[in-house]
Amino acid sequence: MLDLRPGCECCDRDLPPDSPDAMICTYECTWCRDCVDNVLHGVCPNCGGNLQPRPIRPAELLATNPASTQRVVREHCP
């Protein structure tokens, strides 16, 4: 199951499961759209892969498959 992380790994802004601004790589590294556009330039700094908008999990499924609450933040964001 996709790990729906609660915030951007770069600026730590909140990215709730229904946020259209969450972007992920194939390893589920999670970033906000601002950082992807202005800081990361479309490339995940952890793995070098590309970033795509995170699919939104329907609310009724979040009840049984809740989003992750574990915040991941990089010490240095490029």
Q: Which residues bind Zn ion (CB under 5 A)?
A: 8, 10-11, 25, 27, 29, 32, 35, 44, 46-47
> To the nearest whole angstrom, how small is the minimum distance from the Cβ of residue 65 to Zn ion?
22
Nearer of residues 42 and 58 to Zn ion, judged by Cβ: 42
For the sheet containing 52-53, what is the strand order? 30-32, 22-24, 52-53
Query: How far apart are alpha carbons 7 and 19 in whole angstroms?
Result: 10
> To the nearest whole angstrom, how small is the minimum distance from the Cβ of residue 40 to Zn ion?
9
> To the nearest whole angstrom, how small is the minimum distance from the Cβ of residue 15 to Zn ion?
8
Nearer of residues 33 and 57 to Zn ion, judged by Cβ: 33
CA 72 to each of CA 6, 7, 60: distance values in angstroms, whole numbers, following the listed order? 8, 7, 25
